[in-house]
Amino acid sequence: MKVLKFGGTSVGTAQRIKDVANLISTRGKNIVVLSAMSGTTNSLIEISDYLYKRNVEGAKEIINALENKYRRVIDELYTTEEFKLLASNEIRDCFNYIRSFSKDLFTLFEEKEILSRGEIMSVALMYHYLREQHVDVALLPSLEYMRTDKNSEPDTQYIKEKLETLLERNADAALYLTHGYICRNAYGEIDNLQRGGSDLTASVIGAALGAEEIEIWTDIDGMHNNDPRFVEGTKPVDELHFEEAAELAYFGAKILHPTCVLPAKLNNIPVRLLNTMAPEAPGTVIYNTLPSHRIKAVAAKDNITAIKIKSSRMLLAYGFLRKVFEIFETHKTPIDMIATSEVGVSVTVDSTKGLDDIVNDLKKFGTVTIDHDMVIICVVGDLEWHNCGFETLALDALKDIPVRMISYGGSNYNISFLVSKEDKVKALNALSDNLFK
């Protein structure tokens, strides 16, 4: 059994839903995970935003526009009155539910309930369409098995048990369909796995059931060797090690959600990235490949802040770094990059939340300098230190760009550079020119 996940664009129109239905109904008894139709989660966030601000009219305007979009999809999708009616009733119930929040108090809890409707609607549309096409599909409602624990991590034992029960109950089905992204938390409330979290749903299901493969279907033919939104002529990478994929996902390759690599890696389940619009393309396979002595790809992570702490007290002293790191720990702020010298340390963070407090605390230990609007450019591949020349190639590409920090040697898979936001596109292109042409 495989787990196949289809993202928002893959189910973004009636025609795309039909294409995906076609694709999944000919690939065997698999579990299919769907995201919300593209744009829906953003609209639901916007609706919630108006409701937080108690602007019920603003919320209603977006609710109505979204509902009209779904009505048009229903009109185009179904050919029989029976299934049109079944789908219309479910979608109408969802929108009535969303409207019901416009009266009283609105909190994070209500927002999560609203956000959950995106995946509930896309799955409902697909479910009824498959039924109309006489596919014997069984629905596995995520809210009945996908749960996070008190640390907001997937509760693997619970998920495994509940999923197995649901599968047993529907043992004769030809195909299983389920919601990405949405879950319940440790308190039984509706919650989600963060933006882009359907990839994690697929990975967690694959790990729980020991699936043969996890397939992430999207709108591009695999992981490209650079960000196709900023660099022309990028090419798909045929294979990646789990560690390489994790670095790329974490450092900005949007095709894969960073959290989804770990469950697959721990259970040694290959992850394949495939294109809904070109199903025959080989895509990218992510697994425990042998070292390839190649640089595979480049990615960029935006909105980075660099913090430098300089102190002559650091010279020949021990315990300085611990004190610095403890401050970040106290403020629950993860550090991405680090560079040290004998008299100072530079670190980067990807959130400015609590930055003022962090800086105030750091000032007890040294002079603090901040650089905002920075970007981490991450070069990923087999960068084990005995392999000569790769660092030079990367550095040479950046010879005309001011580099604020460099980090190498933390893993065998990456070398990272910190540059300013204005130089991001230039740096990505220069690296592609030097590394892949």
In the complex, the residues that contact Mg ion under the rule CB under 5 A are: 7, 196
Per partner kind, with CB cut-offs from 5 to 8 A, the member of Mg ion, ligand ASP, ligand ADP, none near residue 195 is ligand ASP
To which residue do tokens 């019901």 refer? Answer: 100
Per partner kind, with CB cut-offs from 5 to 8 A, the member of Mg ion, ligand ASP, ligand ADP, none near residue 41 is ligand ASP
Angle between the N-to-C axes of helices 108-132 and 81-99, in degrees from 0 to 180, rounded to the nearest 10: 180
Could you say which DSSP state residue 152 is in?
Answer: S
Structure tokens at 4: 């196949």
> Is residue 305 a contact point for ligand ASP (CB under 6 A)?
no
Structure tokens at 388: 């000569």
Looking at the Cβ atoms of 35 and 346, the one nearer to ligand ASP is: 35
Residues 21 to 50 in contact with ligand ASP, rule: CB under 6 A? 35-36, 41
Give the whole-angstrom CA distance, residue 276 versus residue 6: 8
Map 347-376 to HEC letters: EEECCCCCHHHHHHHHCCCCEEEEEEEEEE
E-assigned strand segments in 7-120: 31-34
Of 250, 297, 283, 284, which is closest to residue 428 (Cα–Cα)? 297
CB-CB contact of 380 with 296 (8 Å): yes
CA angle 46/140/223 to nearest 5° reads: 65
Minimum CB separation of residue 196 from Mg ion in Å reads: 4
> Is residue 198 a contact point for ligand ASP (CB under 6 A)?
yes
Minimum CB separation of residue 254 from ligand ASP in Å reads: 11
By rule CB under 6 A, what string of x and - marks binding of each residue 150-189 to ligand ASP? Answer: ------------------------------xx--------
By rule CB under 6 A, what string of x and - marks binding of each residue 85-124 to ligand ASP? Answer: ---------------------------------x------
To which residue do tokens 């619970």 refer? Answer: 158
Per partner kind, with CB cut-offs from 5 to 8 A, the member of ligand ADP, Mg ion, ligand ASP, none near residue 382 is none
Per partner kind, with CB cut-offs from 5 to 8 A, the member of Mg ion, ligand ASP, ligand ADP, none near residue 118 is ligand ASP
Cβ-proximal residue to Mg ion, closest one: 196
Residues making contact with ligand ASP (CB under 6 A): 7-8, 35-36, 41, 118, 180-181, 195-198
